[in-house]
Amino acid sequence: MNIIKEPMEDTERSPFSGKRPVFLHTLENDNGMKISLSELGAAVTKVLVPDRDGTLENVVLGFDDAHDYRVHKDLCLGATIGRTAGRIAGGQFTLNDKVYQLTQNSGKNNLHGGLEFSTAVWDSEDVLTGDTATVIFSYKSPRGSHGFPGTVFAKVYYTLSNDDTVQIRFQAAADEDTIVSLTNHTYFNLSGNLKHDILDHSMKADVCDFFEVDDESLPTGKAVPVECTPFDFTRGRMLRSGITTTYPQNVLVGNGYDHPLRFEPNGEHTVTLSDNESGRSVSIHSDFPGFVLYTGNFLGEGYNLCGVPAKDHLGVAIEMQEPPDAIHHDNFPSPILRAGDIYRHEIQWSFHTESQH
């Protein structure tokens, strides 16, 4: 196991010359698998895993330069999202009989907490043991930041082990009642070095329903059973099927998926994403009740991702989390974090390679 810490390339450093440089932490296990993590956004920037021929290639979307993350901050590539993942309707909510007005950065709505956690430079600590490598990121979100009540103290632990597993652990506490809902916003592309889009990736998940969204991509609160819809991943299906379908919910979000899905309560809480051509797959397991599936419907073009021209559907984000806008829906898990309580959740990525027959 090894950890390399080095300054991240930053071609437009001058506007940030008064702030400390951003460092990149690269964890490597004994198999040669690597994951690179940036202090900017506590973000995953690169994951190198082998294909069926043993070729190590990157399987996530990212940039090599900190400046690109600032310019394209709305993409949230690989970032830790907070204080709240997803949209909050109207950019406001009521807690303890008080109305809080938040930053409105997606029309009139608040998106991803105003991008606070994903654009912050986090403190970091490296921990190396005989069979694991860990980076601990820490961040203090001040009271009133983006309109949220309370000061929040957050930590994210990334641990790489020798079984090619990455564990992500979230922890948060607040000095007064507030709302917290964290996730990781990595976009996967298992083809390797972004050779292809994700249309022919297949996905399998033990989901029972998805939450309908409106034309602002806000959950309406209505849970729709996945059976006989493009959201039925229980036996596995190609992501292409939800991008080319005329099913109204897929068309509404730009032809694809941008929806919260809910796991079977007594199921495995696991999503498996696979690319047949490369032989790679990743099983994503979590203690969250579900996830948001986003197939990069609006990645756009006119910029490069690690030297590859960007385009829609170049990556898929599988964001393990509570449903967005939960503060406005009594049938969703509550996002309220009470003063003195500890918020804890974890996500695990297990990478596998199918051998050539």
pTM score: 0.96
Residue 357 has pLDDT above 50, yes or no: no
Q: Which residues contact 180 (CB under 8 A, 6 or more apart)?
A: 82, 83, 84, 152, 172, 174, 335, 337, 343
Tokens of 57: 């290639």
* 90: containing domain: 2-353
CA distance 159 to 170: 12
188-227 residue pLDDT tens:
999 999 999 999 999 999 999 999 999 999 999 999 999 9
125-181 residue pLDDT tens:
999 998 999 999 999 999 999 999 999 999 999 999 999 999 999 999 999 999 999
CA distance 23 to 7: 4
Q: What is the mean pLDDT of residues 313-318?
A: 98
15-43 residue pLDDT tens:
656 678 899 999 999 999 999 999 999 99
Q: In what order do the strands lie in the sheet with 290-294?
A: 187-188, 316-321, 290-294, 258-263, 207-213, 219-225
The count of domains in the chain is 1
| Element of type H or E holding 243 | helix 240-243
Q: Does residue 121 contact residue 19 with C-beta atoms inside 8 Å?
A: yes
Among 188, 199, 201, which Cα is nearest to 58's? 188
- Please state, rounded to an integer, the average pLDDT across all residues of the chain: 96
DSSP letter assigned to residue 180: -
pLDDT confidence of residue 12: 77
Q: Does residue 33 contact residue 160 with C-beta atoms inside 8 Å?
A: yes
Q: What backbone torsions phi and psi does residue 128 show, to the nearest 5 degrees?
A: -115, 130
Query: CATH number of the domain that 144 lies in?
Result: 2.70.98.10
Residue 59 has pLDDT above 70, yes or no: yes
At 326, the amino acid letter reads: A
324-353 residue pLDDT tens:
999 999 999 999 999 999 999 999 999 999
DSSP letter assigned to residue 333: P
Percentage of residues in the chain having pLDDT higher than 70 = 98
* Cis peptide leading into residue 83 (ω within 30°): yes
pLDDT confidence of residue 120: 97
Among 197, 129, 201, which Cα is nearest to 159's? 129
